[in-house]
Amino acid sequence: MRIKSLMSAGMIALACASATAQAADFPVTGTITINGTSAPLPAGAKFGDSIYDAQTGLLSVGKFTFPQSSTTINVGPPFGPVTVTYQVTQTNTSTAQVAGDGVAAMTAVQLELAIVSTSLPLPVTPCRFSPITLDLAGVGTSSALSLEDPAFSVPPTADSCGGFASQINSQLATSNNSIAPVLTGDFTPPPDTDTIFADGFEA
């Protein structure tokens, strides 16, 4: 794919960019769906510290950070619905490339989902789900970088989760998941210059 082939060239160009460019934290909004249940991404999420170079279309190395958030899951009898406080952490770093036509892609995002606490009167930690791999693609514009992974999987936890691993796995360790993060900022596509050498000489 052309956008993938341009990534390494864009990284070289960004390294040579003006030293006056300032890294920034880009606010992140959007939605996440786990096992068919959709919710907003945690308020206060961001991607950074990173620089977007409008001349090359490259977003430099950064990572997503998410505040703790809460949701309700049904763990079955005898407890029924349980309020779960959780933390999502990106365990690697990522870059993104916006092509001249606005088409965008981000390198693989590796996440860990950790349950911090629940409304149960029993401890359920540690209870971690990892690695969760996101393959994000979308569109860059003058106001946002809108990305999506329409189908990702959450692997089963290897932790005991206080003896509730099987119930929690049934609710969280599924493939019926999607995520659509939106990075707010100026991601104007770069000039659509001649890319004859991107993949070697064209026929």
The domain segmentation of the chain, as residue ranges, is 2-184
pLDDT score recorded for residue 21: 63
What ranges in the chain are assigned the alpha helix state H? 2-5, 7-15, 165-172
pLDDT per residue over 31-54, tens digit each? 999 888 888 999 999 999 999 999
For the chain, the distance separating the N- and C-terminal CA atoms, rounded to the nearest angstrom, is 17
pLDDT score recorded for residue 93: 98
Q: Are 24 and 71 in contact (CB under 8 A)?
A: no
Other Cβ atoms within 10 Å of 167 Cβ, number = 18
Q: How many residues does the chain have?
A: 203
Cα atoms in the 13 Å half-sphere on the side-chain side of 52: 27
| pLDDT > 60? residue 25 | yes
Other Cβ atoms within 10 Å of 53 Cβ, number = 20
CA 111 vs. chain centroid, Å, equals: 8
Pairing of strands 103-106, 94-98: antiparallel
| pLDDT > 90? residue 9 | no
More confident residue, 19 or 33: 33
Q: How far apart are CA 172 and CA 73, in angstroms?
A: 9
pLDDT score recorded for residue 203: 42
pLDDT per residue over 140-164, tens digit each? 999 999 999 999 999 999 999 988 8
